[in-house]
Chain A
Amino acid sequence: MSFISKPTIIHKSQKRNGLGLTVRDYEGVSSTLCAGCGHDSVTAALVQSFWELDIPAQQVAKMSGIGCSSKTTSYFLSAAHGVNSVHGRMPSVTTGANAARRDLTFIGISGDGDSLSIGLGQFAHAIRRNLDMLYVIENNGVYGLTKGQFSASADLGSQTKKGEANLQPPIDPVKAGLAMGASFIGRAFSGDKNQLVPLIKAGLRHKGFALLDVLSPCVTFNDHENSTKSYAHTREFYHPAIHTDFVPPSKEILVDYEQGEVMEVKLHDGSSVRLRKVARDYDPTDRGSAFSYLMDARKRGEIVTGLLYIDPKGGDMHKRSGTAQKPLGRMDHAELCPGSATLKELQKAYR
């Protein structure tokens, strides 16, 4: 349980980030997930990403719903506030929290059940508002806590441990995100940290809704031979279409890429993502071509990964509604109350 505390001895040789903190300072309580769970790798990648970005933990709000994935928000950034809300409703709680504190960095951790079944409506509407957050779906095609039922992302024909075949076509969060207008869409595999970390970092820095679908196998209920969300299947069929590097504004390092293959996209804070295309015909700034590439790859049985779509220009919820820069939750009553004279004036219309 989360009462098990980790030893906090930090060796002198541990590397420190720009805030003088070690990677250990970004950890949370011990995970209670199954040994080998893909989610724990995502947690580790998150810890590393926050550390590398020099983000003070207390400037982060960790949001989640219900499920194995949603439990993981206590396994990183102990010094950050967190809300483990109700099933499928993390987007609404995050929307409200973001409305109050636009200065914080919001990370939401969800799963395929939490986002694609019970929470599909809220997931869609958070996208529609271009809520400024990184939304991670730890996707394993299965309900773990209730012991192995298919989720809405399970592939057609994929089998349960007992051999029962899934008869419903899957909802692919990436295609759903593309269709609903998400401004940043990536897919990664929990087993490939080198790919995952830059995607998380870029997603955190993206101003707007960053969707990251992470294939994260369930070792207990969905890692067998006839599963399409197993480690083995994912390793065999995952296909990086785009290699992503995240370049912070202060650390301009020229990466050794061949000319013509690299596309640089500037983010709002001056950082940028450098996208190295593996597939020649892929354009991650064109929603339509991204969609058709995904459809074609799907026919070949490939799971396309990388930063698949980005539009850094769309305004987030606050920009669209013209909210004050100062966070609403930090305003004094004096800034908000019009006072007795105004009340008298306003009431003239009711005489």
Chain B
Amino acid sequence: MSQINDFVIKLANVNGTGSASANGLVMKTIFRMGVPVVGKNIFPSNIQGLPTWFEIRLSRQGYLARSGEVDVMVAMNAQTFERDLNEVSPGGVLIYDSTWPRERDITRTDVTVLGIPLARMCNETFANPRSRILMKNMAYVGALVALLDLDMSILHGLIEEQFATKKKLIGANVQAVELGLDYARKNFKCPLASRVEPMDKTAGHIMIDGNTAAALGCVYAGATVGAWYPITPSTSLMDAFRSFAELTRIDPETGEKNFCIIQAEDELAAVGMAIGANWAGARSFTPTSGPGVSLMSEFLGFAYYAEIPLVLFNIQRAGPSTGMPTRTQQSDLTLCAYASHGDTRHVLLIPDDPGECFDMAVQAFDLSDRLQTPVMVLSDLDIGMNDWMVPELSWDDNYRPDRGKVLDDEGLAKMDKFYRYLDSDKDGITYRTYPGGDPKGAYFVRGSSHNKYGAYTESSAEYQEVLDRLLLKWDTAKTLVPDPVIRISGESSTVAIVTMGSCAAACREANHKLAAKGIHLDYMRVRAFPFNEMVEEFLEKHDHIIVVEQNRDAQLRSLLLTETRVAKNKLHSILHYDGQPLDYRSVVTGVEKFLSQGELA
């Protein structure tokens, strides 16, 4: 099988050595050559000295998941050399720094090993100790240019862009690239069988991570107040919001900012601030990760019961507790669905890529204002921090925010008396007012029991009436949340895959691969909680449903069991929870194993 534009390069580095930007250049060069790419950064929770990997998959068919194989390994980390070598597929290539002899460790005969004296060449060429380390990365980039047949002029352009503000660094970087390139051309047969040929399949696309896209969504939705406490892997969302806001929301004449970003003292305060700002009429959000949601739970119950809008981004990481902060997982589904004590339930939106992060950020604000309740966007580290190839984001200038049922002074004037929690439209959603308006609209928010007029009550009937009305609002939410994405195989399948979020790309590819083997599965990706009628119908129509998700405890499966009419014996699981982004092979293997067990008899 030809490996042109269809292979995986994995780069094993030590973190803090500047490898990330070098690896990014390789991926971007391939992307600009028109070849679809997938980049996965597998990094440590550390600043300097621990192992880190970057995986670049080229997929001429445009698949966006990991393949689970490595064809070309660039092994720059002595610490992990052995396991990196073991990971290379038979027939693959390993590139390493031959400044230090490694012959003893190279035990495999089914792998082509290419040694390049990267450190020696850089030490001979560059004087400064720090540049010697940094330039080693650029030297292997150069070797890859020769070995993979990368377009040097594109790489050159990218280097110029990267150092646009530090122009004097361009020369040294290009020099280092040439060191590697020349060495590879002189000593090896270039290019390799795994090589890159220009295509035209990335036109109209961008490479962007989900946190950046979500931040753009917040800017476009009109969010003005962002409150947060730093936590991996959500931090880059607020960083991006700040930089976009600084670009687009500062008055050029006065320097006044049409936004306010507050770094809170902890997650409890961050969510409290976002709730306060939403209550006062601004659109406000907080990005966090699982441990933050644990801390925010008390306030989530408050916002649910007091009916205050709130947009929360949970960029999930591997738990429990501190867990693996720099690895991905989908293990906060149950936590977020029911966060806080008492009978609480929350609207969730679950994007599958950065494009959907952008769209759902906007949708989250609209839904939250419409439903007057917290809306959580459940992204994860894989979507949030890795660059994904997605169609260019688009914006409809006719968009107007849905602020929901808000009475202004004019609206209040038409009323005899205003009561905050009176359900006059019988959809469970009541009218609210912002502070600072007509005193007729003044009301008192409380997390303690209140009746439909907004007054404190300890009357059982009055208390229960409000609690029941919140359930009616939940039913209304089902009609407003985004539908699931459904693909019917056309082969009248009774077996289906059901999944969510970042599993989508691997499931899609697995579906194709299985179809090629004659196994046709229907597919549904749920995009929101509560589950709507389309989800119910799909579950009803299928006899065997394999739920693919990235957690140990089958949380999506449990939620489907609790919240839909589906029969327990219809649901099966493929669970992936090692912290690495899901690869399509795991799904294929999981489905085949399930089918071979004869459970479908």
Check if A and B associate.
Answer: yes
A residues bordering B, Cβ < 8 Å? 1-3, 56-59, 61, 73-74, 78-86, 89, 91-101, 103-104, 121-122, 124-125, 129, 317-318, 321-325, 327-331, 333, 335-340, 342-344, 346-347, 350-351
Within 8 A of A (CB), among B221-275: 222-225, 227, 244, 247-249, 251, 255-262, 264-266, 268-275
Q: What are 6 A-B pairs with beta-carbon distances under 8 A?
A: A74-B456, A81-B443, A89-B298, A96-B272, A96-B276, A99-B276
Contacts of B439 in A (CB 8 A): 56-58, 79-80
Please report the C-alpha to C-alpha distance between residue A86 and residue B393 in the assembled complex, in whole angstroms: 39
A104:B435 contact, CB within 8 angstroms: yes
Q: Do residues A328 and B282 form an inter-chain contact, with CB atoms below 8 A?
A: yes
- Say which residue of B206, B261, B436, B456 sits within 8 Å of A101 (CB atoms): B436
Contact B224 A347 (CB under 8 A): no
Given A82-B444, A338-B248, verify A324-B435 contact (CB < 8 Å). Answer: no
A78 contacts B251, C-beta separation under 8 Å: no
How far, in angstroms, from A57 to B441 measured CA to CA in the complex?
12
> A2 CA to B444 CA in the complex, in Å?
11
Taking a contact as CB atoms under 8 Å apart, the answer to whether B258 and A324 are in contact is yes
Chain A contacts for B270, CB-based, 8 A: 92
Decide: A83 and B279 in contact? CB cutoff 8 A: yes
| In the assembled complex, B107 has its CB within 8 A of some CB on chain A | no
**Contact call A337/B220, Cβ cutoff below 8 A:** yes
In the assembled complex, how far is the CB of residue A97 from the closest CB belonging to chain B, in whole angstroms? 4
The residue on A at minimum CB distance from B398 is: A340
B455 close to A85 (CB less than 8 A): no
Pick from B314-322, B328-336, B445-453, B477-485 the stretch touching chain A. B445-453
Given contacts A89-B299, A343-B216, A350-B206, contact A84 B444 (CB under 8 A): yes
Asked if B16 is an interface residue, CB under 8 A from chain A, the answer is no
B105 at the interface (CB under 8 A from A): no
Identify which of B212, B223, B258, B280 gathers the most chain A CB atoms within 10 Å of its CB: B280
Chain B residues packing against A (C-beta within 8 Å): 32, 206-208, 212, 216, 219-220, 222-225, 227, 244, 247-249, 251, 255-262, 264-266, 268-282, 284, 298-299, 302, 306, 392-397, 399-401, 433-439, 442-448, 455-458
How far is A81 from B445 in the complex, measured between Cα atoms in Å?
8
Residues of A within 8 A of B220 (CB): 337-338, 343
Smallest beta-carbon distance A124→chain B, Å: 8
List the A side residues contacting B457 at CB < 8 Å.
1, 3
A284 to B284 alpha-carbon distance, docked (Å): 39
The answer to whether B275 and A93 have CB atoms under 8 Å apart is yes
Interface centre among B281, B436, B437, by most chain A C-beta atoms within 10 angstroms, is B436
Bound together, the chains give a CA A89 to CA B271 distance in angstroms of: 10
Contacts of B447 in A (CB 8 A): 84-86
Which residue in chain A gives the minimum CB-CB distance to B227? A96
B257–A99 touching, CB < 8 Å: no
Given contacts A3-B455, A101-B280, contact A121 B265 (CB under 8 A): yes
A residues near B279, Cβ cutoff 8 Å: 83, 93, 96-97
Least CB distance from A1 to B in Å reads: 6
- In the assembled complex, the CB of B397 is this many whole angstroms from the nearest CB of chain A, namely 5
Give the residues in chain A near B257, CB-CB below 8 Å: 321-324
- CB of B265 within 8 A of CB of A122, answer yes
| A46 shortest CB reach to chain B, Å | 15
Distance between Cα atoms of A336 and B223 in the complex (Å): 8
Residue pairs across A and B with CB atoms within 8 Å: the count is 232
Asked if residues B256 and A92 are in contact (CB atoms below 8 Å), the reply is no
Residues of A within 8 A of B281 (CB): 100-101, 329-330
A100 contacts which of B32, B282, B298 (Cβ < 8 Å)? B282
User: Which residues on B sit within 8 Å (CB–CB) of A350?
Assistant: 206-208, 212
Given known contacts A58-B442, A328-B258, A84 and B448 CB-to-CB distance under 8 angstroms:
yes
Determine whether the beta carbon of A328 is less than 8 Å from that of B260.
yes
Least CB separation from B395: chain A residue: A340
A322 CB contacts on chain B under 8 angstroms = 255-257
- CB pair B269 A331 closer than 8 Å: no
For B216, the chain A residues whose CB sits under 8 A away are: 343, 346
A333 to B220 CA separation, bound complex (whole angstroms):
9
| B276→A100 contact, CB < 8 A | yes
* A84 to B272 alpha-carbon distance, docked (Å): 12
Q: Tell me if A58 and B280 are in contact (CB < 8 A).
A: no
Nearest first, the 6 A-B pairs at minimum CB distance are A96-B276, A92-B272, A79-B439, A100-B282, A96-B273, A329-B281
Whether the Cβ atoms of A342 and B455 lie closer than 8 Å is no
Instruction: For A95, list chain B residues within 8 Å (CB).
Output: 227, 262, 269, 272-273, 276
Q: Which residues of B contact A339 (CB under 8 A)?
A: 395, 397
Chain A neighbourhood of B436, CB < 8 A: 58-59, 61, 81, 101, 103-104, 327
Are A92 and B442 also in contact (CB < 8 A) when A100-B284, A104-B436, A329-B281 are? no
Cβ-defined contact, A335 with B258, below 8 A: yes
Among the listed A2, A85, A104, A333, which residue makes an inter-chain contact with B272, where contact means beta carbons less than 8 Å apart? A85
- How many angstroms between the C-alpha atoms of A349 and B465 in the bound complex? 53
| A100 vs B259: C-alpha distance when bound (angstroms) | 9
| Bound form: Cα–Cα A183–B302 in Å | 31
Residue of A nearest to B274 (CB): A96
Residues of chain A within 8 A of B256, CB atoms compared: 322-325
| Chain A residue at minimal CB-CB distance from B444 | A82
Q: Which of A84, A92, A97 contacts B268 (CB 8 A)?
A: A92
Residues of A within 8 A of B248 (CB): 338, 342
Look across to chain A and name the residue whose beta carbon is closest to the beta carbon of B223: A336
Q: How far is the CB of A326 from chain B (nearest CB, A)?
A: 8
B273 and A99 contacting across the interface, CB-CB below 8 Å: yes
Q: Are B258 and A97 within 8 A (Cβ)?
A: no
A58, B265: Cα distance in complex, Å: 30
Residues A329 and B458 in contact, CB atoms below 8 Å apart: no
| Chain B minimum-CB-distance residue to A61 | B435
Task: Determine the chain B residues whose CB is within 8 A of the CB of A96 once the complex forms.
Answer: 225, 227, 262, 272-280, 284
Are B276 and A93 interface neighbours, CB within 8 A? yes
Least CB distance from B114 to A in Å reads 31
Name B362's closest neighbour in chain A (CB-CB).
Answer: A337
Q: How far is the CA of A1 from the CA of B459 in the complex (A)?
A: 11
Q: Told that A57-B442, A92-B270 touch, could you supply 6 new A-B pairs with CB distance under 8 A?
A: A78-B442, A81-B436, A86-B302, A125-B265, A323-B256, A328-B225
Q: Which residues of A contact B278 (CB under 8 A)?
A: 96, 100
**Who on chain A is nearest to B390 by CB?**
A350
Interchain CB contact (< 8 A) of B282 among A57, A99, A103: A99
Chain B nearest Cβ from A117, distance in angstroms: 14
Chain A residues within an 8 Å CB radius of B227:
92, 95-96, 99
- Chain B residues near A318 (CB-CB < 8 A): 260
The answer to whether A81 touches B435, judged by C-beta atoms less than 8 angstroms apart, is yes
Question: Which residues from A are CB-within-8-Å of B306?
Answer: 83
Name the residue on A nearest B268 (C-beta). Answer: A89
A318→B212 CA distance, assembly (Å): 26
Distance, CA A324 to CA B272, complexed state (A): 22
* CB-based nearest A residue for B396: A340
Q: Which residues of A contact B219 (CB under 8 A)?
A: 336-338
Instruction: State how many angstroms separate the Cβ of A322 from the closest Cβ of chain B.
Output: 5
Interfacial chain B residues near A100, Cβ < 8 Å: 224-225, 276-278, 280-282, 284
